[in-house]
């Protein structure tokens, strides 16, 4: 895996920012920016489904979809990650339609699922920032702030959280969020 661009500690959890292909990360779970059907799509969702193989789609068909602002978990199949947490973020409307709360909800739900499953390492994609149009800087602040807060609310210690960015610009937004949250 590529070396982290920035690391920080949130309690006893190591936080990292990397620019990488999330389908290549060897972690307990990767967090997919899924749609409500959970049946695959474009962007990172499509890439995860292709890399995991057809078994992922078959398992997703049994889950009955997922509401925006929530998350569900499956096996990772052909991925290096043992699990995929499918988090459904909101489509950006205008910023006044509850998008921030829904985005925070899916990050919080993903951390909760990881804690319940006693996972030690989780890698997040930048949920809702692709075709869903959520402003990347705003999404990064919500992602980092929500994950740090959710980690503190869990009994199980997640040892490592990776914010996996698809570009240097996305990584810069996450680094700024680390600074704004007082992590570095």
Tell me whether residue 88 is exposed, middle or buried, using C-beta atoms within 10 angstroms of its C-beta: 0 to 12, 13 to 18, 19 or more.
Answer: buried
45 part of the active site: yes
| Nearest alpha-carbon partner for 100 in 134, 66, 144, 147 | 134
- Residue 55: which region, alpha, beta or left (left: phi > 0; alpha: psi -120 to 50)? alpha
Report phi then psi at 138, rounded to 5.
-65, -45
Q: State the catalytic residue, choosing from 45, 155, 168, 172.
A: 45
Both tokens of 166, joined, read 């698809």
Q: Which pairs with CB-CB distance under 8 Å and at least 24 residues apart come from 62-67?
A: 63/38, 65/36, 65/37, 65/38, 66/34, 66/36, 66/38, 67/36
Distances (CA, A) of 161 to 65, 77, 98, 147, 165: 25, 21, 26, 9, 13
Task: Name the residues annotated as catalytic.
Answer: 45
């Amino acid at each position: 895996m590529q070396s982290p661009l920035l690391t920080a500690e949130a309690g006893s959890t190591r936080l990292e920012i990397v620019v990488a292909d999330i389908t290549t990360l060897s972690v307990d779970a990767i967090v997919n920016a899924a749609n409500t059907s959970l049946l695959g799509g474009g962007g990172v969702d499509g890439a995860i489904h292709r890399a995991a193989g057809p078994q992922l789609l078959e398992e997703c068909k049994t889950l009955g979809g997922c509401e925006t602002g929530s998350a569900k978990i499956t096996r990772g199949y052909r991925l290096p990650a043992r699990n995929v947490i499918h988090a459904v973020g909101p489509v950006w409307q205008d910023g006044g339609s509850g998008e921030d709360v829904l985005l925070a909800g899916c990050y919080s739900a993903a951390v909760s699922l990881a804690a319940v499953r006693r996972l030690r390492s989780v890698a997040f994609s930048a949920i809702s920032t692709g075709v869903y149009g959520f402003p990347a800087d705003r999404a990064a602040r919500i992602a980092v702030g929500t994950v740090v807060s959710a980690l503190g609310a869990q009994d199980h210690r997640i040892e490592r959280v990776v914010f996996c960015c698809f570009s240097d610009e996305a990584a810069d937004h996450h680094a700024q969020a680390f600074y704004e949250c007082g992590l570095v």
